[in-house]
Structure 1
Amino acid sequence: MRRYILIGLIAGLVIVAGAWFLVQKGKLEYAFVPSNKQTVNHEQNSSQIKIMSSKEETGSDQQIELGKKLFFQETFGNEVFFTDVLGMFDGPFTLGNVAKAIIKLRGEGTNNLQVEAAKEFHLGDIQIKKGELIDTGLDVAKGSVTPLGVKVVFDEGRLKAGISCAVCHATVDNKGRVIEGVPNNDLNIGLSLAMGTNTAAYFSHTEMKNIKDYVKVVNRTVETSDGKKEALPDPDTFEQFVDSEVLKWPLGSNDTTIDFKNNPVQIPDSMTLGDQPYGWSGQGQVGPFKGLSAAINNAHAQNMDALSATEISGPVLKIDKEVYLGTALQNAANPKYRYDYRSKEKPTEFFAKVDPTPGVAGVNQLIPASTFPRASFTTTVGLFSSSPGYDTWEQLNAMSAYMNSLQPIHTGLDNNKDKYEEGRKTFINAGCISCHGGTYLSSNKVIKSEELGTEPFRGKALKGHTKFFAEPSKYADHTPVPLPENPKIEQIKLTDKEREQLNIAWAMGESNGGYKTISLFNLYWSAPYLHDGGVAVGPNMELGLTNTLMKGKKADPYNSLKAMLDSKLRRKVIDSNSKSSKLRTAHITGEGHTFWVDESTGFTKEQQDALIHYLLTVTD
């Protein structure tokens, strides 16, 4: 049964008036899905771009429509992890105050929802007082009662919220209209997580040398998988450590790998057609939609539910799964999910009794992959995001079809044909076309880190997974969820050329990894630049992240692109970044990709200016 009802009294407070929830399967839930009239993309689909796509990259209108709906509202149940386990909304950042902030908009939109702090938060140089406004970077469309990509659920007698693709990969313009697929490059992910009460559950995304360094009381032990006793870290000390790590992430960035290196990458755009391989290191190459579905799965199955890594924590993270799960749950926000070492139960035994999705690691709606428990080129944790009632891959493929349907947005910059043509000639003469040629201005290859010279840690972040690897395979098409007994499994064959690229992308063997050659579409919308987002220059030539995003100022696309091309300006940006201890220890430098188009390589300032104009307007 589906109908709409008003949110009433929650925990004794009226937290929102006029917001509606969809009643579905006994749960009250709502997420905003924009109509075509509410999106900029619908009005500005470019007719000047010749789309050269294969059947492997496109979907039916019905599949694309489903993909759009899922892109904006599908969380695969991660509201349990973010609300009940991590406690994102139990600290200064509460759902009640989010609702109050939206009410204050009076129906208008915003690209930075300012939320009143419900309590104080102090850590390092972050000092937030109760009642102070927090810049969240959350976007709210005109007329919406929830932020983009945030699904609100009333379940088990409490209000919860989860996150869909749109929270990171959509934004709004100054009229409150939704721009689909454009990165939310001022989203304050690190601060939002740090204000949670059990951010420690996200500890695999930190620069942690040894979990034993955080043990204070040796009798707080769990029984490990091999019957030994091992102590859990001190909850308070460990929480402060994890909080301090995620606070290092610049706006619009987050760490997406579990390798105990703090490697935040900037949020990419989701206008994905022609931009394969997927993921900054190019790991998304295998499976439907040229690997895009696998890349989407990595975002949901791994990064939206840290508990999903329980079964791989031993071989990949070198932490026994009982210690891993006990650490993540020992301070869970909801007492239902809070593990007590004094119970003498193993954490896995405790979790099995409260797991909302029994039979599979994690709290999200996941199914074991055909290689489970081993990882493969299609899944980093040996699991796939898939909800009951769908076929395996169906939801992921629908989102892939939708993302591939998104066209670049007009920039609104001057249409100077002479400058554009001069820039195109410079693009060719400077050799940019050797890597960024073709329809989508990309060679669609992964380049070794050593060749690019960029900050190398992120490129080799998947090496640990390859030590617990299986040959890629998949369930046969139309295999339903829940999985039947003995589902049919099909092997995925790879060519030698594909394996060579995958070896680089996944840092297999002696490889130190690499980074994909990105498409040069959408550069106007995706500043700052490089995988670490380190090439940032403000509208008034503020240099580096230290003087732009870290001070609440957006990176200017023209000036930041100039720093990509001008050797002297880049040096100043790198020097500015190096002054921040946060950036240094989060491996953000802005170094590499030293392909200059300036006086040092024989080009004039006019040619450089024309090249920047060409790169920014190439899809207009």
Structure 2
Amino acid sequence: MNVIKWTGVVLGFVIIAGLGFFYFGHFTIGYTPSFEKIINDDHIYSDDGRPEEAYDVFGEAVSKEEAEALLQTEEGREYLAAENGAVRVDDEFLELGRETFYEETFGNEVFLTDVLGILDGPLSLFDFMKAIAKLGGSATDNLQVEIPETVTIGGETFEEGTMLDTGLDVPEGAMMPLGMPVTVDRGEMKVGISCALCHASVDMDNGGKVVEGGTNTNLNTGALMAFGSNTASYFTHADVEDLKDFVAETNRTVETTEGEEEALPDVKALEDAVDETLMKWPPGFFDATIDMEANPTQMADSFTFEDHPYSWSGMGTSGPFRGLSTLNNNVQAQGSDALAQAQISDELFDIDPEVYLGTLLQNAANERYRYNPFADEKPSDFFQEVQPFPDSPGVNEVVKLPTYPNVSRISPQGYLASSEGHNVNEQNNAMSAFQNTLVPPEPNRTVDETTLARGEEVFNEAGCLSCHAGRAKTNNRIIPLDEIGTQPSRADSLEDTEKVWDEPLIFSPDTPVPVPERAKILKAPTDHVDEEQKNLGFAHGDSDGGYKVKGLAGVSRHAPYLHDGGVAVGENKEDDLGIPGTFLSDRRPDPFNSMLAVIDRDLRERVIEANQSSQDLRDVNIEGIGHEFWVDEQSGFSSEDQEAIVEYILSLTGGEEED
């Protein structure tokens, strides 16, 4: 009896403590797959023939052997000192990178849940959890969530009971999707995103195992965000030329930084406009730029080794890990927290900072963050009272750089995502080191060696090596827009950063968070990049911008192709043409046929025609044009040659010897 009694007491205490922690505590639950659930687990943290990196010094990789020699001299020890910019890479650092890749949100659950309202619209967390429970522990690369009520989003009506294709990947036995950690904050449940949401995927052809670094090609980001209650907070990623076009009531005003009264846009009108744009994004696309134009690009893979410069425009050229940390920082610092751009909204968008903040917060999902334009308070004063991280310009955990609010090549946002308890930029750097270890699994294809050998010959004969050389099959250059000829909208999306441009100053890697007074400041070297390439990456000076030469390692896993993802062909290359014939018809692009359309001018022409037949795709600048380097009959190659070169390209994993 006493045993039963004390068991009850203990259980009661545990339940009470658990409830108390739930309602008054703060914790995050994320999912990192065990190595047994990774397809390419035999490559984890191995060099696969690559030189093992022991240090990174502003993009210069130092191997173990080189480090051992350098540490024998005073000059070498100074070179490898963290206070001078060196980042040490060891197993513990790689573990941090992997954990950050899968589970770190840097607090973006506040913007996504409390401001944008991703769980405050027709879909709740319960709807997602119910869908996962129905899997019964099975894996999926497309979590289907039942819409509980009839709703109209962006002009499209969804009937009650409709199953929404989210594209969320759930590994076997997992209770949450990849890259979507859940945070409990004083009884409130919120969802954030980590890098794994877009850059890891479940391969259903390999038992539902995870491809680390593999693109989630069908993630329906546009619809997931459009179903939020305040997607107007993401208006800088949509076609919104002027907020004044959405003003309906002149009595809903804010006091600008100049002391004048300016009306806020109508909540519903702006919401509907942004929803309409987001619903036009095809699955597997995301708009990471804030140029007030709709120009989503296909999500890239994270097979990053030797694939610099980084991002489609090639803006990641400098800083740790050859600019990869700059790219990693971009999504968490900019793409998941629109509030952080308020300080430079006038320069970037010609919008007063008070109007900008008021617009984003006037319909925030959580009342705590909802700004009332009839209150006797400026939006900036209101926001300062509710910021979760008072030193942050937005709601994410970031550190302002010495040049803030100006931006630079090291951070086009002016700040770095960094959590308290870590060093400045440590998590971004750790992710960079981790990503550089990722090796694409062998493609799910059976091809004889003779075909692959002929494919390599055709690759060389056709001149592909002029750009796609080396192990990663890239010359690491940015091609000017007028030369590459691909869809132009995205190329100049960063040009306005020139208005607030500054020196690439950064805190030394051993600087703790919070940043102490008199922390050491370093200037990131940029002399290794010529001026033309620097300007192309940001469309600065007289440049119209350009696009980087994308490496081909793992290309079989991220069809469709080109930066705008417009080169898509399904299994039936006669009918499954372009985005309309694939994603918009519930068909996945076929890697072979899609790559064939990259090199065959006749097939490409039909793909472009299919894309241009869709007004929605024209509105979001998806065409599939450009990169007119043909390997077809008109160029003197046979259909057998085409088959061989396509199979060769799809076989590349980045483990090949350099040419």
TM-score by shorter chain over 0.5:
yes
Select between 364-373 and 425-434 the one with higher mean Cα deviation.
364-373
Residues 1:557 and 2:591 are matched in the alignment = yes
| TM-score, length-scaled by structure 2 | 0.89
Residues 1:570 and 2:600 are matched in the alignment = no
The alpha carbon displacement at 1:500 in A equals 2.5
Cα separation, 1, equivalents of 2:507 and 2:409? 14
Q: Which digits, 9 at most, give the CA deviation of each residue in 1:298-333, with x for residues without a partner?
A: 111000111111111111111111011100000000
- In structure 1, the residue matched to 2:25 is 26
- In structure 2, the residue matched to 1:72 is 102
- In structure 2, the residue matched to 1:381 is 413
The alpha carbon displacement at 1:125 in A equals 5.7
- In structure 2, the residue matched to 1:93 is 123
The alpha carbon displacement at 1:415 in A equals 3.7
Q: One-letter code of the match for 2:141?
A: N
Whether the 8 Å contact between 1:22 and 1:29 is mirrored in structure 2 is: no
Residues 1:257 and 2:289 are matched in the alignment = yes
- In structure 1, the residue matched to 2:170 is 140
Residues 1:610 and 2:644 are matched in the alignment = yes
Cα separation, 1, equivalents of 2:263 and 2:114? 24
2:251 to 216, 219, 231: 219
| TM-score, length-scaled by structure 1 | 0.94
Select between 145-154 and 40-49 the one with higher mean Cα deviation.
40-49
Cα separation, 2, equivalents of 1:434 and 1:23? 58
Cα separation, 1, equivalents of 2:448 and 2:532? 42
Q: Which digits, 9 at most, give the CA deviation of each residue in 1:229-274, with x for residues without a partner?
A: 1110000111000101111111000111001111100000001111
The alpha carbon displacement at 1:8 in A equals 9.5
2:436 to 399, 404, 412: 404
Cα separation, 2, equivalents of 1:488 and 1:573? 53
Q: Secondary structure of the equivalent of 1:343?
A: coil
- In structure 2, the residue matched to 1:119 is 149
Residues 1:83 and 2:117 are matched in the alignment = no
Work out which of the two has the higher radius of gyration on C-alpha atoms and give 1 or 2. 2
The alpha carbon displacement at 1:526 in A equals 0.9
2:626 to 592, 596, 599: 592
Q: One-letter code of the match for 2:306?
A: G
Residues 540/47 of structure 1: CA separation in 2 closer, same or farther (3 Å cut): farther
> Sequence identity, in percent?
44
Q: Secondary structure of the equivalent of 2:262?
A: strand
The alpha carbon displacement at 1:53 in A equals 6.4
Cα separation, 2, equivalents of 1:8 and 1:319? 50
Cα separation, 2, equivalents of 1:47 and 1:421? 27
Matches within 5 A, 1:398-477: 398-477=430-509
Whether the 8 Å contact between 1:170 and 1:181 is mirrored in structure 2 is: yes
Cα separation, 1, equivalents of 2:21 and 2:565? 38
The alpha carbon displacement at 1:370 in A equals 2.2
The size of the alignment, in residue pairs, is 606
The alpha carbon displacement at 1:488 in A equals 1.7
Cα separation, 1, equivalents of 2:15 and 2:230? 28
- In structure 1, the residue matched to 2:382 is 350
Whether the 8 Å contact between 2:154 and 2:275 is mirrored in structure 1 is: no
Whether the 8 Å contact between 1:46 and 1:410 is mirrored in structure 2 is: no
Cα separation, 1, equivalents of 2:408 and 2:415? 10
Matches within 5 A, 1:15-414: 26-43=25-42, 50-52=49-51, 55-56=55-56, 57=61, 59-123=89-153, 126-174=156-204, 175-414=207-446
Whether the 8 Å contact between 2:154 and 2:273 is mirrored in structure 1 is: no
Whether the 8 Å contact between 2:555 and 2:652 is mirrored in structure 1 is: no
Runs of at least 5 residues in structure 1 that lack an aligned partner in the other structure: 10-18
- In structure 1, the residue matched to 2:635 is 601
Q: Which digits, 9 at most, give the CA deviation of each residue in 1:32-91, with x for residues without a partner?
A: 111111111204679996425654358311111111111000000111101000001111
Whether the 8 Å contact between 1:91 and 1:119 is mirrored in structure 2 is: no
- In structure 2, the residue matched to 1:579 is 613
Cα separation, 1, equivalents of 2:105 and 2:463? 43
- In structure 1, the residue matched to 2:66 is none
Select between 190-199 and 373-382 the one with higher mean Cα deviation.
373-382
The alpha carbon displacement at 1:494 in A equals 2.1
Alpha-carbon RMSD? 2.2
Q: Secondary structure of the equivalent of 2:201?
A: strand
Cα separation, 2, equivalents of 1:400 and 1:63? 10
Q: Secondary structure of the equivalent of 1:405?
A: coil
Runs of at least 5 residues in structure 2 that lack an aligned partner in the other structure: 1-11, 64-88
Cα separation, 1, equivalents of 2:19 and 2:595? 43
Cα separation, 2, equivalents of 1:603 and 1:52? 37
Q: One-letter code of the match for 1:30?
A: I
The alpha carbon displacement at 1:126 in A equals 2.4
Cα separation, 2, equivalents of 1:274 and 1:514? 19
Whether the 8 Å contact between 1:312 and 1:381 is mirrored in structure 2 is: no
